[in-house]
Structure 1
Amino acid sequence: MKKTIIITIALGLSAITGWLATGCSKTEIVEVAPPGVSFEKLTDALHMVLENDRTVYTQKVVNRLVKEDKVIKASEHWSEDQALPLPAQMFRMGAELTASKDAWFSYSLQSLWPINKSNAAGQTEVEKKGLEFVAANGGAEPFYGQETLGGQNYFTAVYADVAVAPVCVSCHNEHKDSPKTDFKLGDVMGGVVIRIPMDS
């Protein structure tokens, strides 16, 4: 009887010790885990939403109504022409509306071959390197960098802007101000630049 009690107590203590050891190791893991989301994941998530909205507008609205159904045209002077805004113009209007709301991040569409000169690459050295990087790798992966502007440290990410519909290709190739006129479907036409302040 005494042996049974001693064995039972020993097993109980062993279980408690194991549980405490496991609990401590879990606590240690939680304590060393970095808080929050990385800058890369944050800009990746923002870009996914921006890219999806832009793709849907380009493919399901502009390309369908202009190229396929031929019921309306898209124009730089969309208001005067009673036409659809170009996908790049829609993107810019969204970026400007975001900026007007004092958002803590910014985004823009830029290109090494811009039709609109205000979208020209090289506003900063990091932007230029990023646009050259995504163009060189065909948009296979984004570019991440850091820069200091006006005394503020920023995480800057650049993602490839790809021709997702025939209307993209024809618009750029046929435009009188386009510096590049041999784009094909799937080509990198520019880049989406997302900038986030790194300081709290």
Structure 2
Amino acid sequence: MASKEILNTLGRTWQATWLCLSLLTVAGCVKDAAVFSGLKPDHPPPLMAGCSTVTVFQPALRWQAFSPAEPEGSLSEATYEVRIWAAAHDAPGQLVYAREGLPEPSHKVQDPLPPSTTFFWSVRARFLLNGSPRVTDWGQQLAISIQVRNSKPGEWLGHDLIEHQYYRYYCFQTPGAAQ
């Protein structure tokens, strides 16, 4: 099956993953990369491993604005939805905060979050396309690490290991109670 046929059979998320892994494997000079599905966060910044630490209990979340590559028809202004979950076993647990209809690609959490707690969060855009409601995927990140041993740019990686995490929502941790 040709590369184009492979890409056509995969969804957009996996297309990006496949392309990223292919480029990293051929280049051999990049050790870490991240692939994003949906809207990418600006703050708290996504990390390759672990979670960002915020300094307040009501953090301001920011993300890239929705901008379709090539809209096919009449497109309305986008609004955004934000969800925050308390972490449970390194995964989203109970939903603790949700807002819809946000007009800007940012939002300050209105309810104080508990101290010393890890949270997962995500955002998506809502819009109308030719009068029909549409949404983007919830924003997620895939971190990819390539363990390169004695490889030079342009050489095949051979037996080197490519590691990746599953797609996950963005995460942050609130400060301790004394802060």
TM-score tier, shorter chain, comes to: under 0.3
- Between Structure 1 and Structure 2, the one with more strand by share is 2
TM-score (norm 1): 0.25
- Between Structure 1 and Structure 2, the one with more helix by share is 1
Larger radius of gyration between Structure 1 and Structure 2: 1
